[in-house]
Structure 1
Amino acid sequence: MPLTSQPLRKLGFLTIGLFDGADPRRGHESTLETIELGERLGFDSAWVRHRHLQYGISSPVAVLAAASQRTSRIELGTAVIPLGWENPLRLAEDLATLDILTGGRLNPGVSIGPPLHYDQVKDALYPTSSDTEDFSYERVRRLLDFVRGETATDFSGVEGFEVFSDRVQPHSPGLGSRLWYGGASLRSAEWAGEHSMNFLTSSVVKAEESEDFAEIQLSHVRAFRAHHPDGDRARVSQGLVVIPTDTATPEQRAKYQEYAEKRTPRTATPQGPARLMFALDLVGTSDEIAERLYAHAAFREIDEVAFALPFTFDHDDYVQILTDIATKLGPALGWRPGVL
């Protein structure tokens, strides 16, 4: 296998946390058990997606707070919280509280833009301000300021028996350096770098300067670092879908292959008005997947990943996939598991 990439330094995984609407506890418990398994296997990080008005995790802060009490080492992240649904000051309070509970293990990832299906939800979400809400990068900047300890009000001091602060409380000093921006465009990569954030790049990018997925993603990585004060040391995490089959049953292999084949047509050309390009799902043995990753232009320039688990698989499938990633694929990429 050609060693054309630096050894993988951090290995993480991402889950959407699906659940049955008739029995939501079971799905949430499965997510927590998956995170616990990730820690036992030595993963460096576990990330959860964020879904509103769907059967996926709608409150990652609450889920990760629960996960923080079941784990002690693994980092916990969001990939990503869509800020169009959030008040930056209130979210800053929640994130700081969660970071305190995790002992400084939180990695919040965020993104911008109007909420999905905004015309259908705006009256419920912003009944009096839907036409004036700002969904631009300014919303991220406000969150950054609050998390990093900038003043939120011109009032502080004692009023009766109560003490008031002029900045968000609790303040978690290291959290500001662990904020991530999930971006799919060249401008997002540049903006994240300019504001000293970390950068999450996933299996979806915008076909702005090319129609080759790896080339587009590579340009985003380089643009981000070119605009970041830390340059080539700025943190980038790549989030492709990988499905190792080393210990899978014949039935699982067939299911995985069928899943990937159904999703393959969308990878051929840009999709929709936004010209979104999707990466191929990587299915095969760990050695086969490692070979394909070493041939991926963007992967060769990063040393952190958060491989995405497929949305619709069963808990036993996730156990097999995570175990193979940790015991076979990770080592094939030069990674060493963390120790409890």
Structure 2
Amino acid sequence: MKKIGFLSFGHWSPARGSGTRSARDALLQSIELAVAAEELGLDGAYVRVHHFARQLASPFPLLAAIGARTSRIEIGTAVIDMRYENPFHMAEDAGAADLIAGGRLQLGLSRGSPEQVIDGWRHFGHLPSEGESDADMARRHAEIFLALLAGEGFAEPNPRPMFPNPPGLLRLEPHSEGLRERIWWGAATDATAVWAAKLGMNLQSSTLKFDESGEPLSVQQARQIRAYRAAWKEAGHAGEPRVSVSRSIFALVTDQDRAYFGGSGEGGDSIGYIDADTRAVFGRSYAAEPDRLIEELARDEAVAEADTLLLTVPNQLGVDYNAHVLEAILTHVAPGLGWR
């Protein structure tokens, strides 16, 4: 059995043919797709966060709105760029959204990816400390955020407060019990996956990874997942961690599917560069008739290793078509792989 969710980048564009022409469209359609996904029986609705782009950016109002419209489905991010985040303000926003959702948030964080502007986090008031890289700053923000979610008091109360205080040091409010255990880290390397395991975070592995061996993405991701689980066990954490991988998967069951995606699954992984000098392997798209799709996905080592699969969706094709894409996977593919 495997949990299956969707992952939307929330692109919007007024270009001809786009069904998501404005930021309002992207936000409202994200909510409606989450509602539709819950009705179909999916397990998760996840969004990506990018700044200075025509995509979803500020996640917590959207997560709270989805939480208020749904009752069962997990609601998450994959991922929030922690270079941009004030962990104190973020802890308050996350606590509020999680309480609205009834404890269903699954927050994926990361050190971030190349953005639309140069050092965009500087415009948000964040600067690396002396001798610290922007990636180091992101991990520092994440560690502060995790500590805040533990709910321990740390702030000295005012002796003459506006409102009565409980005894002892004060914590941030609202606090949502259990959210600390539902934090994930989007790791692009084996080393950061191990780091995440030591801190007790779940693991997200995307449709790309830094190329550390020259092997296919699924092979490198599977090795990363095994290293992560070994580090989790060595750290002595209670319980089992969760691991997700993201994939672009389209079951070709209608003529419209074939028109949109026929032939797009013929290629393999591709190689590119991040930040000009970091070689990365980008995963292939899967697009085929259901029987062939089942055979191909059965050979994906990382999908087999993960307990959660996030399906990237072409959100500009509209809610109805994306709901069809998700339903086709649940109906025609998941049972053949033992996921349902």
Coarse TM-score class (shorter-chain normalised): 0.7 to 0.9
> 1:168, CA displacement in angstroms?
1.7
Conserved in 1, the CA contact under 8 Å of 2:264 and 2:286? no
Question: Structure 1 pair 216/87, CA: closer, same or farther in 2 (3 Å)?
Answer: same
Partner of 2:2: 9
- Out of 304, 320, 338, which is 2:324 matched to? 320
Conserved in 2, the CA contact under 8 Å of 1:238 and 1:306? yes
Deviations 1:318-340 (A, max 9, x none): 1220111222222222233xxxx
Question: Structure 1 pair 312/260, CA: closer, same or farther in 2 (3 Å)?
Answer: farther
Q: Where in structure 2 are the equivalents of 1:276-315 lying within 5 Å?
A: 276-310=280-314, 312-315=316-319
Partner of 2:245: 238
Larger mean CA deviation between 158-167 and 44-53 belongs to 158-167
> 1:130, CA displacement in angstroms?
3.4
Larger mean CA deviation between 73-82 and 162-171 belongs to 162-171
Letter paired with 1:70:
R
Gaps of 5+ in 2: 15-20
For the pair 1:192 / 2:196, whether they are aligned, the reply is: yes
For the pair 1:252 / 2:257, whether they are aligned, the reply is: yes
TM-score (norm 2): 0.86
> 1:214, CA displacement in angstroms?
1.6
Aligned counterparts of 2:247 and 2:287: Cα–Cα separation in 1: 11
Conserved in 2, the CA contact under 8 Å of 1:97 and 1:170? yes
> 1:119, CA displacement in angstroms?
3.0
Deviations 1:225-255 (A, max 9, x none): 0111359932111111111112x3x243122
Deviations 1:109-166 (A, max 9, x none): 100158725636355322xx63547524222111110112234424367624353762
Q: Where in structure 2 are the equivalents of 1:114-129 lying within 5 Å?
A: 116-117=115-116, 119=118, 121=120, 124-126=123-125
Partner of 1:140: 142
Aligned counterparts of 1:275 and 1:151: Cα–Cα separation in 2: 43
> 1:287, CA displacement in angstroms?
2.7
Partner of 2:93: 94
Question: Structure 1 pair 23/300, CA: closer, same or farther in 2 (3 Å)?
Answer: closer
Conserved in 2, the CA contact under 8 Å of 1:65 and 1:101? yes
Aligned counterparts of 1:82 and 1:93: Cα–Cα separation in 2: 17
Question: Structure 1 pair 73/270, CA: closer, same or farther in 2 (3 Å)?
Answer: same
> 1:194, CA displacement in angstroms?
0.4
Aligned counterparts of 1:117 and 1:151: Cα–Cα separation in 2: 38
SS at match of 1:69: helix
> 1:305, CA displacement in angstroms?
1.1
Larger mean CA deviation between 142-151 and 304-313 belongs to 304-313
SS at match of 2:175: coil
Gaps of 5+ in 1: 1-7
SS at match of 1:135: helix
Conserved in 2, the CA contact under 8 Å of 1:123 and 1:130? yes
SS at match of 1:17: coil
Aligned counterparts of 2:121 and 2:82: Cα–Cα separation in 1: 14
CA RMSD of aligned residues (A): 2.5
Conserved in 2, the CA contact under 8 Å of 1:241 and 1:310? no
Question: What is the aligned residue count?
Answer: 322
SS at match of 2:137: coil
Letter paired with 1:141:
E
SS at match of 1:180: strand
Partner of 1:52: 51
Letter paired with 2:39:
R
SS at match of 1:107: strand
Identity of matched residues, %: 30
Larger mean CA deviation between 295-304 and 307-316 belongs to 307-316
Partner of 2:127: 130
TM-score (norm 1): 0.86
Question: Structure 1 pair 143/122, CA: closer, same or farther in 2 (3 Å)?
Answer: closer
Question: Structure 1 pair 20/212, CA: closer, same or farther in 2 (3 Å)?
Answer: closer
Conserved in 2, the CA contact under 8 Å of 1:107 and 1:180? yes
